[in-house]
């Protein structure tokens, strides 16, 4: 839950409530409940249904506590015991109240409730997958009865197989309804419910359908018992046998923290960070750090059979496996030769957007110091590199301390940066902050909390933002223009302007840098920044993008310093074709990922004089390399990532590099050293990090403890059968925040002038404009090699506005055929209020087949009457 200390309704001093827990005086805030204050004061009240991130249900009754309240007739007299115990999760604190969490009555209540909860629960922990991290197990030990008095037959349910990723075993359910509330409140999709009543009560989904949202995996963690378990992990291992490594998501640019659970070089599962609980590190079922399904289930791609863990050198037409050192030598020789023959600017270094900051830093240093070129970039998959650069270097917002209002510009935020989007929504939901959506696509994830929504045609957003800036300054004409663009009446515009003008402590403009159909970002980014600049200091600008390290790599010089001098990697093909680029060093970068004309890219790569690739898998790209260097995966190396808010987070190695592979930072340093530089003698990523941070923030005084010292941990209480030490670092949530400092690239202080709005485009009747965006699910060919990639990827679908759907005669989940130019795609039609009327939205998914257009292309959609059958794969 966001920090409530800033809540304006709470005035220090005045709203303080003094009361007693177990005889000790404590201070809480008006409106807080017993359980939250107790948790803060270090007094543990057992609970199942209460969860810090969810609304209060009050149905497990395990948090019953005895309370005594002051005598109203004589406040000095002994407090009166309440007629019956109260539930700590729902009872607000009151002045002078005495709470007893360990009294005989409280213990009796806990004991009794445990017996009730276990009445129908099977007592077969040895065959339950939750064993070892089950709260029912733990509370039975701590508060339970010891033996069962239940003689009647236990209730039994049929076991449905509803979801491909999550197993439901209803016999074990204790009806805490956490999963139901999670889906409703956090995931924003009331897809699970409590069905039937009384003894027949059970949880499930409508028609045994899947829990189809990107956060669904979190119900596994928040389920306190063995009812909801992970299908891919089920019965594969016991949790106490696994080695934990604290790390961060490599998919989600929100910077979600994770724990990788490994054994014998195999990744068993990825969860939100484990926390110390009763001396053990476990996925705390009270975790508020929800992660998306791609992070949870897609992190094991490095175990795919396509993995090349030996380096290879081209001999004739084949790539022959060989030693790493030999490959490195060949790479150094080839690159040096290319530089000698064609000059430094004939070489290019491209890094993956998922490269660590250390790798980006070394790539930049290598290109500049060793080669002598500015040709280094990470923006291979970005269609508007300049706009992305501008946006990222002007970002100054974060969610720390919350916000009073937020403007979302054009985008599918929940599929771009899932956890970040969930935090924005959580804040808006809990504190009732207004969300304003502007643009040709509104995120349906925020629909419930978006009081003000303004749809416009693709390409008109930049003009609208400019008018809005003027309207806020009091320009009536701009207001009228705005009403016309958004096709709403003047009152709505007045409401919008009122929110923008209101006194805010902190307000945010969030802009989505996914493509959104057509290259509009070049106009929209300056317009959004100009709007922010015109609104005053309370307003902050925060762009988001799917690429994990998009904010870290520019920071450490992994893109050309001067836009005019260098090159953006999207132009790689043109540069190769014109002969300006002769040799390429690709560090985990996939030039095909988002490039529409794949044969052209492959021809270009074929024509290269020298091509070095450091990567994990055999692919169309790596097969064309002259030297292939086996790279270590994210589980086998360490490094730093920067998230969209500018917080650093670290990935830690769970295993040594497989076979003959090496981490990319070692490879770059090795090649540089072989070419003859003496400035690349690093022994560990920490050394690179220190040098990097010195250039990044010379005056920085923060502590890097959490980032730098993930030392071995010896206090793991359950003996590790393998004898291996648990590698869980001393971990506090604040550690990775680096003392609250946010790292931001310095942008030039440019006053952005608003541009003239574009003229609206005329679309023939019956046709639509197509918008698209990159999803975190469609990340790239690494994700395609995750063991359950088929379940993570979504079927090709389009979103259609209800107005258009009615015209089309289309219903939700109908099948359809989308025609773009001469290409046709079979798609599933989803009727959502996301796209503006006249716009069809399509995520750019695994196929990555959509060509890039300068303007949103005009498309047609035809309804095929059979309903789509691919719903089960909708994850």
Partner 1 sequence: MAILKNRHDEIEKLCAKYPSRRSALLPVLWMVQEQEGWVSQDAMKEVAEIIGCTAAEVYEVVSFYTMYNQKPVGRHHIQFCHTLACAICGSHEAVGHIREKYGFDEGASISRDGKFSLVEVECIGACTEAPAMLVGETLYGNLTPERLDEVLNARN
Q: Which residues contact 849 (CB under 8 A, 6 or more apart)?
A: 596, 823, 825
From 40, 84, 206, 598, residue interacting with partner 1 (rule: CB under 8 A)? 206
> Rounded to the nearest whole angstrom, what is the least distance from the CB of residue 355 to partner 1 in the complex?
40
Residue from the set 102, 108, 196, 715 that interacts with partner 1 by CB under 8 A: 196
Nearest CA to 464 out of 512, 506, 502, 497 is that of: 497
User: What are the CA-CA distances from residue 355 to residues 515, 616, 735 (Å)?
Assistant: 21, 13, 22
Q: Does 671 bind partner 1 (CB under 8 A)?
A: no
Which of 117, 174, 179, 192 binds partner 1 (CB under 8 A)? It is 192
Q: Considering the complex, what minimum distance in angstroms separates the CB of residue 165 from partner 1?
A: 18
* Residue 865 CB, nearest approach to partner 1 (Å): 13
Nearest-CA neighbor of 310 among 656, 617, 587, 661?
661
Instruction: Give the CA dihedral 412, 418, 424, 428, nearest 10 degrees.
Output: 80
Minimum gap (Å) between residue 218 Cβ and partner 1: 17
**Binding-residue total with partner 1 (CB under 8 A):** 14
Closest distance of CB 52 from partner 1, Å: 24
433-436: list long-range contacts, CB under 8 Å, 24+ apart: 433/402, 433/403, 433/404, 433/405, 433/406, 434/405, 434/406, 434/499, 435/406, 435/408, 436/405, 436/406, 436/407, 436/408, 436/496, 436/499
The minimum distance between CB 182 and partner 1, in angstroms, equals 13
Closest CA to 165 of 128, 126, 219: 219
213 binds partner 1 (CB under 8 A): no
Taking the CA atoms of 257, 553, 680 and 698 in sequence, report the sign of the dihedral they define: negative
Nearer to partner 1, 234 or 812 (CB): 812
For 367-390, letters b (16+ CB in 10 Å) and e give bbebbebbbbbbbbbbbbbebbbb
Of 194, 430, 538, 817, the one binding partner 1 (CB under 8 A) is 194
User: Does 56 sit near partner 1 (CB under 8 A)?
Assistant: no
Rounded least distance, CB 97 to partner 1, Å? 35
Please state, in angstroms and rounded to a whole number, the distance separating the CA atoms of residues 288 and 699. Answer: 33
Which of the ranges 92-100, 189-197, 358-366, 657-665 carries the binding residues for partner 1, by CB under 8 A? 189-197
Q: Does 865 bind partner 1 (CB under 8 A)?
A: no
Looking at beta carbons only, is 597 or 806 nearer to partner 1?
806
CB of 453 to partner 1, least distance (A): 15
For position 190 contacting partner 1 by CB under 8 A, the verdict is: yes
Sign of CA dihedral 597, 603, 609, 613: positive
Minimum distance, C-beta of residue 410 to partner 1, in the bound complex (Å): 25
Give min distance, CB of 292 to partner 1, in A.
20
Q: Is 191 in the site for partner 1 (CB under 8 A)?
A: yes
Q: Least distance to partner 1 from the beta carbon of 89, Å?
A: 22
Report which of 365, 346, 345, 336 is spatially closest to residue 558, judged by C-alpha positions: 365
Q: Which of the ranges 55-63, 205-213, 509-517, 623-631 carries the binding residues for partner 1, by CB under 8 A?
A: 205-213
C-beta of 248: minimal distance to partner 1 in Å? 33
Among 14, 147, 197, 683, binds partner 1 (CB under 8 A): 197
Between 162 and 407, whose beta carbon lies closer to partner 1? 162
User: Applying CB under 8 A, which of residues 207, 599, 676, 764 lies at the interface with partner 1?
Assistant: 207
Cβ-Cβ contacts under 8 Å for 20 (sequence gap 6 or more):
26, 96, 97, 98, 99
Residue 31 or 193 having the CB closest to partner 1: 193
Question: Judged by CB, which is closer to partner 1: 555, or 831?
Answer: 831
Q: Which stretch binds partner 1 (CB under 8 A): 193-201, 548-556, 750-758, 820-828?
A: 193-201
235 binds partner 1 (CB under 8 A): no
* Residue 195 binds to partner 1 (criterion: CB under 8 A): yes
683: contact with partner 1 by CB under 8 A: no
Residue number with CB closer to partner 1 (193 or 760): 193
Q: Report the residue number, 508 or 831, with the smaller CB distance to partner 1.
A: 831
494 binds partner 1, rule: CB under 8 A: no
Q: Is 159 in the site for partner 1 (CB under 8 A)?
A: no
Three-class SS state of 406: strand
DSSP H or E stretch at residue 26: strand 24-29
Minimum distance of partner 1 from residue 194's CB (angstroms): 6
Contact status: 189 vs partner 1 (CB under 8 A): yes
Q: How many angstroms from the chain centroid is the CA of residue 757?
A: 33
Among 96, 193, 343, 838, binds partner 1 (CB under 8 A): 193
Does position 409 bind partner 1 by CB under 8 A? no
> Of the listed pieces 188-196, 464-472, 511-519, 536-544, which binds partner 1 according to CB under 8 A?
188-196
CA distance 662 to 324: 8
Q: Which two tokens stand for residue 94?
A: 């009151």
Q: What one-character DSSP code corresponds to residue 238?
A: -
Which residues are bridge partners to 277 per DSSP? 280
Residue 146 touches partner 1, criterion: CB under 8 A: no
Nearer to partner 1, 42 or 207 (CB): 207
Q: Which is nearer to partner 1, 102 or 811 (CB)?
A: 811
- Based on the shown chain and the rule CB under 8 A, indicate whether residue 871 belongs to the binding site for partner 1: no
Sequence-distant (6+) residues with CB within 8 A of 734 are 706, 740
Question: In sequence order, which ranges of 84-222 are alpha helices (DSSP H)?
Answer: 104-119, 135-143, 178-181, 218-222
Structural contact between residues 791 and 165, judged by C-beta atoms closer than 8 angstroms: yes
Instruction: Look at residue 248 and give its three-state secondary structure.
Output: strand
Distance in angstroms (rounded) separating the CA atoms of residues 111 and 121: 15
Residues 6 or more apart whose CB falls under 8 angstroms from that of 277 comprise: 284
Q: Which is nearer to partner 1, 448 or 767 (CB)?
A: 448
Report the residue number, 136 or 808, with the smaller CB distance to partner 1.
808
Q: What's the min distance (Å) between Cβ of 153 and partner 1? A: 21
**Alpha carbons 43 and 103: distance in angstroms, whole number:** 13
CA 285/CA 275 separation, integer angstroms: 10
> Among 205, 287, 614, 647, which residue interacts with partner 1 (rule: CB under 8 A)?
205
Which of 149, 197 has the CB closer to partner 1? 197
Residue span binding partner 1 (CB under 8 A) among the ranges 28-36, 191-199, 624-632, 755-763:
191-199
CB closer to partner 1 out of 207 and 698 = 207
Q: Shortest gap between Cβ of 63 and partner 1 (angstroms)?
A: 25
Instruction: Please give the structure tokens belonging to residue 631.
Output: 């790279």
- The reply on whether position 869 binds partner 1 by CB under 8 A is no
How far is it, in rounded angstroms, from Cα 265 to Cα 658?
8
Of the pair 82, 813, the CB lying nearest partner 1 is at 813
| 211/370 with CB nearer partner 1 | 211
Q: In terms of CB distance, is 191 or 294 closer to partner 1?
A: 191
**Separation between Cα atoms, residue 726 and residue 866, nearest integer Å:** 53
Residue 176 engages partner 1 in binding (rule: CB under 8 A): no
Residues 6+ apart with CB under 8 A from 492: 452, 454, 483, 486
Verify binding: residue 812, partner 1, rule CB under 8 A: yes
CA distances (Å), 413 to each of 182, 445, 774, 848, in order? Answer: 19, 8, 10, 19
Nearer to partner 1, 157 or 541 (CB): 157
Residue found by looking up tokens 């070129």 in the block: 373
* Binding region for partner 1 (CB under 8 A): 189-197, 205-207, 811-812
């Amino acid at each position: 839950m966001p920090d409530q200390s800033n809540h304006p309704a709470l005035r220090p001093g005045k709203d303080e409530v003094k009361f007693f827990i177990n005889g000790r005086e404590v201070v809480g805030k008006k409106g807080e409940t017993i359980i939250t204050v107790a948790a803060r004061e270090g007094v543990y009240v057992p609970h199942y249904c209460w969860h810090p991130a969810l609304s209060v249900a009050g149905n497990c009754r395990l948090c019953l506590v005895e309370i005594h309240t002051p005598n109203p007739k004589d406040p000095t007299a002994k407090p009166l015991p309440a007629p019956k115990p109260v539930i700590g999760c729902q009872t607000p604190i009151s002045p002078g109240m005495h709470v007893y969490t360990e009294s005989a009555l409280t213990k009796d209540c806990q004991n009794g409730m445990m017996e009730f909860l276990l009445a129908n629960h099977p007592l077969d922990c040895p065959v339950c997958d939750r064993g070892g991290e089950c709260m029912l197990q733990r509370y039975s030990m701590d508060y339970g009865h010891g033996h069962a008095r239940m003689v009647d037959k236990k209730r039994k349910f049929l076991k449905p197989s509803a979801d491909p990723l999550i197993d439901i075993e209803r016999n074990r359910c204790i009806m805490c309804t956490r999963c139901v509330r999670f889906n409703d409140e956090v995931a924003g999709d009331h897809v699970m419910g409590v069905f039937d009543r009384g003894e027949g009560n059970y949880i499930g989904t409508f028609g045994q359908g899947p829990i189809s949202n990107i956060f669904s995996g979190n119900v596994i963690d928040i389920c306190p018992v063995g009812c909801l378990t992970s299908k891919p992990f089920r019965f594969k291992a016991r949790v106490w046998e696994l080695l934990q490594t604290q790390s961060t998501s490599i998919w989600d640019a929100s910077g979600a923290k994770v724990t990788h659970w490994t054994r014998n070089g195999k990744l068993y599962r990825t969860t939100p960070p484990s926390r110390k609980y009763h001396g053990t590190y476990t996925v705390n079922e009270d975790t508020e750090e929800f992660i998306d399904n791609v992070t949870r289930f897609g992190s094991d791609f490095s175990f795919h059979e396509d993995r090349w863990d030996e380096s290879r050198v081209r001999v004739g037409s084949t790539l022959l496996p060989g030693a790493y050192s030999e490959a490195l030598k060949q790479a150094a020789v080839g690159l040096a030769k290319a530089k000698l023959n064609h000059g430094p600017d004939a070489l290019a270094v491209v890094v993956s957007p998922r490269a660590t900051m250390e790798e980006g830093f070394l790539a930049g240093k290598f290109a500049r110091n060793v080669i002598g070129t500015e040709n280094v970039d990470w923006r291979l998959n970005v269609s508007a590199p300049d706009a992305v650069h501008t946006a990222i270097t002007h970002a100054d917002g974060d969610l720390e301390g919350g916000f009073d209002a937020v403007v979302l510009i054009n985008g599918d935020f929940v599929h771009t940066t899932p956890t970040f989007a969930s935090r924005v929504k959580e804040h808006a939901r809990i504190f009732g902050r207004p969300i304003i959506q502007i643009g040709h696509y509104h995120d349906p994830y925020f629909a419930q909390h978006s009081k003000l929504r303004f749809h416009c045609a693709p390409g008109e957003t930049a003009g609208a933002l400019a008018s809005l800036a003027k309207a806020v300054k009091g320009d009536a004409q701009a207001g009228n223009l705005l009403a016309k663009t958004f096709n709403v009446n003047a009152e709505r515009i007045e409401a919008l302007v009122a929110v923008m003008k209101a006194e805010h402590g902190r307000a945010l403009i969030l802009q989505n840098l996914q493509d959104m159909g057509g290259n509009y970002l070049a106009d929209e980014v300056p317009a959004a920044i100009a709007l922010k600049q015109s609104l005053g200091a309370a307003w902050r600008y925060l762009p988001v993008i799917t690429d994990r390290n998009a904010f870290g790599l520019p920071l450490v010089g992994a893109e050309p310093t001067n836009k005019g001098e260098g090159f953006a990697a999207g132009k790689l093909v043109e540069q190769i074709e014109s002969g300006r680029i002769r040799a390429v060093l690709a560090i985990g970068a996939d030039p095909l990922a988002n490039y529409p004309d794949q044969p052209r890219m492959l021809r270009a790569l074929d024509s290269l004089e020298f091509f070095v690739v450091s990567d994990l898998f055999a692919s169309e790209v790596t097969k064309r390399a002259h030297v292939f260097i086996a790279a270590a995966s994210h589980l086998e190396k360490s490094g730093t990532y920067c998230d969209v808010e500018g917080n650093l987070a670290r990935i830690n190695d769970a295993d040594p590099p497989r076979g003959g592979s090496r981490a990319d930072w070692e490879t770059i340093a090795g090649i540089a050293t072989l070419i003859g530089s003496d400035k690349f003698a690093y022994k560990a990523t920490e050394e690179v990090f220190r040098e990097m941070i010195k250039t990044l923030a010379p005056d920085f005084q923060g502590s890097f403890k959490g980032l730098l010292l993930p030392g071995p941990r010896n206090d793991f209480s359950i003996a590790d059968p393998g004898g291996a030490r648990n590698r869980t670092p001393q971990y506090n949530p604040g550690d990775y925040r680096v003392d609250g400092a946010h790292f931001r690239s310095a942008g030039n202080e440019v006053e952005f002038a608003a541009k003239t709005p574009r003229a609206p485009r005329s679309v023939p009747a019956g046709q639509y404009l197509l918008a698209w965006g990159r999803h975190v699910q469609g990340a790239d060919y690494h994700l395609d090699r995750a063991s359950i990639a088929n379940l993570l990827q979504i079927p090709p679908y389009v979103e259609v506005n209800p107005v258009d759907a009615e015209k089309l005669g289309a219903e939700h989940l109908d099948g359809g055929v989308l025609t773009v130019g001469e290409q046709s795609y079979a798609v599933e039609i989803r009727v959502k209020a996301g796209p503006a009327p006249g716009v069809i939205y399509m995520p750019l998914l695994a196929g990555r087949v959509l060509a890039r257009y300068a303007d949103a292309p005009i498309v047609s959609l035809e309804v095929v009457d059979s309903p789509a059958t691919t719903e089960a794969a909708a994850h």
